[in-house]
Chains A and B, each alone.
Chain A
Amino acid sequence: MRTMSNLDYSSNESAILRKKIAKVLQYIVAIIVTIIIAFPIYWMLVSSVKSQEEILLTIPTLWPKEWHFENYVNVFKRANFGKYYINTIIMTAGILISEIMTGILAAYGFSIGKFKGQNILFLIILGALMIPIQVTFIPIYIMFADWGLTNTFLGLILPNTVSPYYIFMLRQTFLSVDNSYIEAARVDGMGRLGVIFKILVPMCKSTIVTITLVSFTSGWNSYFWPKIIAKDEPRVLTIGLAHLKNTFAGQATMNNHEIMAGAVMAVLPVIILFFIFQKYMLTGYSKAAMK
């Protein structure tokens, strides 16, 4: 008996030691990997405050010698970044509002509402998921050129006014609302819009916040369609940033400190938003993962 327990003890000890080594190793590898992943973000921030001489050094400095926050001001002065911001805000707001409104209305129609051909029409909506703008942009571009919509906000917004995916998600959430709430509201004489905006929307707040955030970021970051329809005016941030290297005449390398300052400013609003609404973003991701 005694030997048995002794044996047990020593094997336990070596197992614990092995576990400890594995744990330390895991910490070391994880921290190294994290540093590598974080480096480009660090490099963007550090480069954005360096002087032009420092950015052109053959031996790069990992920490800036002097801090040149005026790079950020210069981007606004020399590259019209302020206007890009306003353009992006207008476009994003247009996309956001129309996607959410068409989404909520259609989701109501397909969940609570009843009409003939409902299922077929819902399939038609979902079918649009299979047709990306990368396939259809040519006819839309020709059509918009005819309508005089190239280089306009309307042209930027119109093809992004409906998202079948949001309709699908909202419909699922609306279906989960207990019918008795809706019946009660109807008995009280509430109309459709009342039911939608006073009952369904408040009860499905988290889905709507998630969708709003996703719609905001995808609008803010959209690149392909703005590049087609509004290459010059109204130029949005994503396009403006990609063009910075042409805006600063000469070699792009010469002004990478200012380009990095532009890059920081372009992502800042989205990053701030993510930190405020982190909870919703993570539920959004896990919801997406479960489907």
Chain B
Amino acid sequence: MDADVIKQKNKRKKNHTYAISSAKDFTCVLPALVLLAVFTYYPIVEVIRISFTDWNLINDSYQYVGLKNWKWLFAGSGTKYLLNSLKVTALYSLGEIAITLGGGLLFALLFNRITKTFSVLRAVVFMPRYVAMSSAAVVFLWIFNKDNGILNYFLQTIGLNKVDWLGNKNVALISVLILTGWRAIGYGMMIYLSAMLSISKDYYEAAALDGANSSQRFWKITIPMLSPTTLFLLVTTFLSSMKVFQSVDILTGGGPYRSTEVIVYMIYKYAMQDFRMDRASTVAVMFFFILLVVTALTMKVSKKSVNYDS
């Protein structure tokens, strides 16, 4: 009898302390949860709601207008701007991916020697990554300058014509990509190099014994073994390139003739320059869905086609 009572009491006490301890553990995660709820989850619901209103910051009030903004975006005067922005963003993304992955891999092969000289060279090639975009952008603004810029001076000394790097609508996006690529290529190189170093020598020795030449070894061993790294770079570069804003804002301001107006810049312009919160929100929601689809797709692909070592 006695023992039973004590046991029950103990159990109750244990449950009680467990409840307190679990409540305290929950308190630890509470700040993060609350802050994310207020500054991430509530705004994502709000932005969807605003896309169904006619919210213009200049007016005092707003009304619900149903699908009006969505019609404007997909079958109205906004469609051509949306298509333009999607095209520009896609081209930009492709460019940045090509430079980070393709250029990074080429650089990794070029700078792969393990000597003092090469480790210095690698450090220099990686250095642009340390130069913040805001500084890098004003430096390139100066380098790309049509009349006094050093790039046009170099072009003229080798007998070519001046290029209006930022004012020509066919060149401006390339100029933005040169800036981003300059900062990204050393990063791609470092990531690929560290991945290459971790490939076991055994594979190469076995292949050499079987008579595989160096290009066969590269395509049949190095490239497949690098696929997790490639996928990692592809996903992170793609997602970050979709959100490009700063380089465009400083170099071209979306121009000339919207030729560098990436999707985030389009949202920014409608919201902060035209104060059309309704239209800006509609484009933002659209952008959010694109990001979701892209993420879901990459997750699916990454499960399927990547070769892991172990």
Which residues, 124 to 174 on B, are CB-close (under 8 Å) to A?
124-125, 127-128, 130-143, 145, 147-148, 150, 153
A125 and B32 contacting across the interface, CB-CB below 8 Å: yes
Given known contacts A41-B127, A125-B33, A242-B138, is B118 in contact with A30 (CB within 8 Å)? yes
Q: Which residues of A contact B57 (CB under 8 A)?
A: 142
Taking the complex as formed, is A223 at the interface, i.e. its CB lies under 8 A from any CB of chain B? Answer: yes
Query: How far is it, in angstroms, between the C-alpha of A238 and the C-alpha of B245 when the chains are bound?
Result: 13
A139 and B137 contacting across the interface, CB-CB below 8 Å: no
Taking the complex as formed, is B199 at the interface, i.e. its CB lies under 8 A from any CB of chain A? Answer: no
Taking the complex as formed, is A167 at the interface, i.e. its CB lies under 8 A from any CB of chain B? Answer: yes
Q: Which residues of B contact A271 (CB under 8 A)?
A: 130-131
A-B contact count (CB 8 A): 245
Cβ of A257 to closest chain B Cβ, rounded Å: 10
A134 and B243 contacting across the interface, CB-CB below 8 Å: yes
Chain B residues within 8 Å of chain A by Cβ, number: 84
Query: How far is it, in angstroms, between the C-alpha of A117 and the C-alpha of B136 when the chains are bound?
Result: 46
Main secondary structure of the interface of B (DSSP, over half): helix
Which residues, 220 to 257 on B, are CB-close (under 8 Å) to A?
229, 232, 243, 245-246, 249-250
Taking the complex as formed, is A11 at the interface, i.e. its CB lies under 8 A from any CB of chain B? Answer: no
Query: How far is it, in angstroms, between the C-alpha of A214 and the C-alpha of B152 when the chains are bound?
Result: 36
| Proximity bits, A74-95, B CB within 8 Å = 1, else 0 | 0000000000000000000000
Q: Which residues of B contact A131 (CB under 8 A)?
A: 40-41, 43-44, 288
Query: How far is it, in angstroms, between the C-alpha of A57 and the C-alpha of B182 when the chains are bound?
Result: 26
Cβ of A91 to closest chain B Cβ, rounded Å: 14
| Proximity bits, B255-299, A CB within 8 Å = 1, else 0 | 000000000100110011000010011001101100110010000
Q: Which residues of B contact A173 (CB under 8 A)?
A: none
Query: How far is it, in angstroms, between the C-alpha of A89 and the C-alpha of B182 when the chains are bound?
Result: 27
Query: How far is it, in angstroms, between the C-alpha of A264 and the C-alpha of B130 when the chains are bound?
Result: 12
A221 and B150 contacting across the interface, CB-CB below 8 Å: no
A138 and B132 contacting across the interface, CB-CB below 8 Å: no
Query: How far is it, in angstroms, between the C-alpha of A274 and the C-alpha of B127 when the chains are bound?
Result: 10
Q: Which among B19-27, B67-75, B90-98, B203-211 touches the partner chain? A: B19-27
Query: How far is it, in angstroms, between the C-alpha of A256 and the C-alpha of B142 when the chains are bound?
Result: 7
Given known contacts A30-B121, A113-B25, A114-B25, is B291 in contact with A259 (CB within 8 Å)? no
Most chain B CB neighbours (cut-off 10 Å) among A41, A138, A263: A138
Q: Which residues of A contact B9 (CB under 8 A)?
A: none
Closest to A271 in B: B130
Query: How far is it, in angstroms, between the C-alpha of A227 and the C-alpha of B57 when the chains are bound?
Result: 18
Taking the complex as formed, is B29 at the interface, i.e. its CB lies under 8 A from any CB of chain A? Answer: yes
Contact of B288 among A29, A105, A135 (CB under 8 A): A135
Contact of A34 among B32, B33, B40, B125 (CB under 8 A): B125
Taking the complex as formed, is A286 at the interface, i.e. its CB lies under 8 A from any CB of chain B? Answer: yes
Taking the complex as formed, is B200 at the interface, i.e. its CB lies under 8 A from any CB of chain A? Answer: no
Closest to B245 in A: A224
Cβ of A71 to closest chain B Cβ, rounded Å: 14
Q: Which residues of B contact A38 (CB under 8 A)?
A: 124, 127
Q: Which residues of B contact A47 (CB under 8 A)?
A: 142
Contacts A105-B32, A137-B43, A274-B130 aside, 13 further interface pairs with beta carbons under 8 A come to A40-B136, A55-B148, A57-B148, A113-B26, A116-B22, A121-B29, A131-B43, A224-B245, A228-B272, A238-B246, A241-B134, A253-B145, A260-B142
Q: When A and B form their complex, which 6 residue pairs have the shortest distance between CB atoms, in order from nearest?
A: A113-B25, A139-B46, A109-B28, A136-B43, A109-B29, A106-B32
- On A, residues with C-beta under 8 Å from B are 26-27, 29-31, 33-34, 37-38, 40-41, 43-44, 47, 55-60, 101-103, 105-106, 108-110, 112-116, 121, 124-125, 128, 130-132, 134-143, 158-159, 161-162, 164, 167, 192, 217, 220-221, 223-224, 227-228, 237-238, 241-242, 244-245, 252-253, 256, 259-260, 262-264, 266-267, 270-271, 274, 285-286, 288-289, 291
